[in-house]
Structure 1
Amino acid sequence: MFRPLQLYIGLRYTKAKRRNHFVSFISLTSMLGIAVGVTALITVLSVMNGFEHELRERILGMVAHATVASFAGPLDHWQALTRDLREQPYVEGAAPYVSGEVMLTRGSAVTGALVRGILPAEEPSVSQVLDKVVAGRVSDLKPGTFGIILGGGLARALGVEVGDDITVVTPEARISVAGILPRIRRFHVVALFEVDMSQYDRSLALMHLDDARLLFRTGKGVTGIRLRFDDLLAAPRLARKAAAHLPGFYRVSDWTEQNRNFFRAVSTEKTVMFIILLLIVGVAAFNIISTLVMVVTDKQADIAILRTLGAAPQTIMGVFIVQGALIGVTGTVLGVLGGVGLALNVETIVPAIEHLFHVQFLPADVYLISDLPSKLQPTDVVHITITALLLSLLATLYPAWRAARTVPAEALRYE
């Protein structure tokens, strides 16, 4: 006879046609429920991993790993500080910057923006913004020409293109014979950039460092120095290490301080979604309990005969654990195959659906990212698979225990 006995009888019960078709229907429902739950878990977590990865890459492509600034006013002697920082082995790039909030106008169009003054030759060492230029030339950003590079969303809000002029209004006022007037300067649009994040495309403008110092009247000083490290995840430790090598006291902050709440919110949302979608698998596991309870009731006579032939209670438990586990394993395998296949093709399926129905799920003017990225992580698949199998296995324990407690004489009394 096939050994072990529990596996043989459990598989036989699973393949046998039941007198009660409702039990078969619930078994199929349980299997499909687990498959759908596992598929949803893998797909949603992969999409959220993709969002987190894209946000991290795009945000950190625009912001520096750390910044060094003075506690009071502009940072003087920034040339020497920049050289000292570049000499550190863990610093891959260092570039000065001047920043300030302004109002941009053209005709009747008015919008606020954050202006960042940069050195075009040194900016690529700390950010990727100049690599995202889609119109115009970065080489036209020269000192004294008052050129400006706008984000694509900012340019559309103002209705300007490369070659047009805009007016920059700073919040600093000047006193004249006509009274107190804001400081105004006309700039020439030399290029446009697109990073596919409305946070930057709609609010960031770049100009040459010298022009920014004239605009904000920082003299020979700058707002601070932006740094890029060789290890992104070690930025907090490396920022403190860089501060220790600087002569004097400076305010040093890293990217985790600037975006900590944002990435913490993404991580929390991922955890909550995992728990919510896990309830689908939990409901399917409850269906396994219902299925096995009805099977135990249906097989009372068979259980009694097995007991009278010498089958131990543990053997009876094993029979129904095998039957329930088979439902869980089949559903989990189907769910893993469906989830992995869907997660790997989300970036193809979603644009096809948008094109077919002429809709856009993530409008660029509302969401930070307008596409639906996906990043499948093997560890997520393993954790989801193990969790689904454990829930399925736990769901078999009560019905199997109930079957093992069957009294042969009571079960065979009316047979």
Structure 2
Amino acid sequence: MSRRRWGVAALAVGALSASLAYAPANADVETNGHHGYSKTRTVGYFIQWGVYGRNFRVKNLVDSGAAARLTHLNYAFGFLDESGKCVSSDPWADWQMPYTAEQSVNGKADEPGALGGNLNQLKQLKAKYPKLRINISLGGWTGSRYFSNAALTPESRAAHVKSCTDMWIKGNLPGLPEGSAKGIFDGVDIDWEWPASEGNTEPPNVVRDADRENFTLLLAEYRKQMGWNRDLTAFLPADPKQVDKGFQVSKVFCYLTFGTLQGYDYHGAWDAPANQQSALRVPKGDPSADEFSSEVTVNAWLRRGAPRSKAVLGVPFYGRGWTGVAPGTRNGLFGTGTPAPATYEAGYEDFHAIKPKLADPKYKVYRDERAGFAWIYDGTTWWTYDDATEMKRKARFINDRNLGGAMIWSLDGDTADAELIKALDGALR
């Protein structure tokens, strides 16, 4: 798995059992209702760096109608330093960048010396949509390097959680008056990629065998310090092997408000064959050594103890592409190629940039109705993606399996009129 992918002895069972004492007796039951929502969750990631090349701001969510469709917004990402304490990965984007009146959600320019940047826009968004839950997401593919250090000991866990709640929940930001960002974030989303398994390798993450137990203990420390009225969520891997290596599933879900299951990056430019990246089921004839699909992922988590009502399936607002792909027998599917040229990263393109290709007569649209995915192909370049049709198909899958909702990576990939989130949210129960 790509974007979303040893040395200390395991902790004593007694220490782990003691940590579970933080959990209330009914911690494993559905907790969505106390947030005021009666429908399935629609969770979207807003990327911090989108304000640069993509020129995507919080106001775009309002103008497109996307914000009104969300139950939860995850702001990505906060990082950890080597000691495991929380830091901003980009203070300029987070709270320093000044916004003009035209760029702001409330139509007012930022005041000098006060909170600015994305955080002030999120504050304005919450004022406009008071039921929207906004969480700070920590880590990500490039920001998970030091999670193992944070989770290693009782002292490091306590220091990590205190630093994160001080910064993001209490809103104490460097260079601003105390509490300047208080009230913006309702909770914390843990995006550790991945406990006890390699994730990003440039530079390499710190990985320990004890990460599996320590991940549970870290969640327990969050509940100890934050209580049970705040959201605590986690982004969780698609690969069953990584699930087994890194997660005590039933215990983890006792602490989580919900967990988001990786529903994408099953295949990509790191694989030579052009293949689905977000199919509901494994397509017939898949030559891969390991079979990946949303069905495989969801079943893996449910069989290991994840409650259906807390299992939220991730969906991509982007596609994966290859070029130099020979036609073969299935319109390019499983043909070998190299990463297709794209706007920001070869082999990766936001849906709104793929959409014009759907009207290009050089390309033809194909769908695998059984496996549940789409692709376009012009005889050499091959892109797989999720459009409104596939979003509705994903929503039906979520409804039929009685899952806890859908999670979007990421909101900036949608069209200016939010056609993907409208199709997805409109089809969810």
Q: Same-fold call, TM > 0.5?
A: no
Larger radius of gyration between Structure 1 and Structure 2:
1
Q: TM-score, normalised by structure 2?
A: 0.24
Q: TM-score, normalised by structure 1?
A: 0.24
